[in-house]
Amino acid sequence: MSNTLNHPKECCGVFGVFGHPNAAELTYYGLRALQNRGQESAGIVTSNGKGFKHHHGMGLVKDVFTGRKIKHLKGKKSVGHTRYSTTGSSSIKNAQPLIGQFGSGEEIAIAHNGNLTNAPTLRGELAESGAFFQTDADTELILLRLGKARLTASNDVDALTKTLPCLEGAYSLALLTKNALFGIRDPFGFRPLVIGKKDDGWFLSSETAALDHVEAEFVREVQPGEIVMIGGDGLRSFRAFPEPHRHASCIFEFVYFSRPDSDFMGENVYEVRKRMGRQLAKEWPADVDMVIPVPDGGNGAAIGYAQELGLPFEMAFVRNHFSGRSFIEPDPTVRELNARVKLNLNKKVVAGKRVVVVDDSIVRGTQSKARVGTLKRAGAKEVHVRVSCPPHLHPCRYGVDFPDRSKLMAVRHDKSEICRLLGADSVEYLSLEGMVGATGIPMNNFCLACYTGLYLTAIPQSIPTA
């Protein structure tokens, strides 16, 4: 992540454990490994087969959970969540996993990665039927619809197959009952969800890297439109939708969101980013002395760019991994200081040099301009900017906080204007075809709506735009 003020945020990471005596501890470490996906709040719910124990808090996983709080979370089954809000306010009431209690007294905990595009419609229907809302998060709507379906369902799987067709948009879910753990993915597969195994325990995770952290073996991805049920008799699979949908996973997982040490759609994220950088160099080479990344998001693409052109790769920007979160301040001087605390320039590396700066994306452009200015003030002779994805022209509706269209730099300015506004000597973007080609996966398997504006579900006018 290059900077929280300049780069989009993903909504969250989910992690679940079934059948391991240290379920809470493993979930804690799984969430620590998924901290890249959300730094706003965290929660863990456990089950001992009789009832739930839970703890939620605002902030980073390591700050929310202490050893004493972890020991309180008894049970061999757990589900955890680390959040960044794209719908619902930033408050403890929206911290997940959310827990619902149904008429029978049974509890269900749910952790959600994604964004429901028909949330306004669902909320209106539920309100008309007398539903009482405790949060303003779209995840609660799934719980309430599930509770309604359970009134006529024969079992939990039946209730889920009645509920899921009512949902539109992106949802990868980890759902815990007192006796089972469910993994669920929307029919397009917008957001990732994978299955792991260690000894007799089963795991669900937003990324494979989190499985590595708990020394669990990757089994496979939860398929788009699939329900996996993990219980005492192992893993069982159910189809939630009778007709297959086109698969359309978010390509920005490769560009930016996923950890470089994760695998997604059968490809290693780091290797894909390097291939994107190589393709970027083929499309837009630069006559420079060195290649520098904007860490951490631009690292892989910058390495590929340098390798393709046979140029030196230098870590001129130094990232401070201990700076904590940067909260957006109204004063521009404070905003700039926050950015500098996170990322500092080693001036001697670039003084008198022609450099190409590789970044994963330019969204608003605020921090890109600051980086170019910093390089020029440090004595860089030329600063060329290369971006390892196409220009963002549309907001995401499926769980990423791309701003509304009017705030996207590439909407407000053409490429020559962007170059002038950034103060760069040149600015070039990887083509759509080049980006997708670097993944080795057919274009039809991706959601590209933030580049093309071709959304895969109906988008109500009232849907939040982050």
Handedness of CA 86, 298, 13, 230 (dihedral sign): positive
* pLDDT tens per residue, range 282-314: 999 999 999 999 999 999 999 999 999 999 999
Which pLDDT score, from 0 to 100, does residue 339 have?
58
CB of 192 within 8 A of CB of 249? yes
Helices 432-439 & 269-283 angle (0-180, nearest 10)? 140
Query: In whole angstroms, what is the distance from residue 385 CA to residue 375 CA?
Result: 11
Among 89-98, 141-150, 164-173, 203-212, the range scoring the smallest mean pLDDT is 89-98
- The H or E element spanning position 308 is helix 299-309
Look at residue 255 and tell me whether its pLDDT is greater than 90: yes
Q: Taking a C-beta distance cutoff of 8 angstroms, is the pair 171, 191 a contact?
A: yes
* pLDDT, tens digit (0-9, with 9 covering 90-100), for 381-401: 999 999 999 999 999 889 887
* Domain boundaries, given as residue ranges, for the chain: 12-247, 263-452
On the question of pLDDT at 249 being above 80, the answer is yes
pLDDT at 389: 97
Sign of the alpha-carbon dihedral angle for 79, 83, 88, 94: positive
Cα dihedral 157, 93, 189, 388 in deg (nearest 10): -170
419 counts as catalytic: no
Amino acid 93: pLDDT: 81
Q: What is the mean pLDDT of residues 167-179?
A: 95
Catalytic member of 12, 250, 419, 447: 12
218-248 per-position pLDDT tens digit = 999 999 999 999 999 999 999 989 877 789 9
The one-letter amino acid code at 256 reads Y
User: Model-level pTM?
Assistant: 0.91
329-383 pLDDT, tens digit each: 445 555 555 656 678 999 999 999 999 999 999 988 888 999 999 999 999 999 9
* 27 class by beta-carbon count within 10 Å (0-12 exposed, 13-18 middle, 19+ buried): buried
pLDDT of 147 strictly over 70? yes
Domain 12-247: CATH architecture, name and number where available: 4-Layer Sandwich (3.60)
Among 3.40.50.2020, 3.40.50.300, 3.20.20.70, 3.20.20.140, what is the CATH number of 263-452? 3.40.50.2020
Mean pLDDT of 14-38: 96
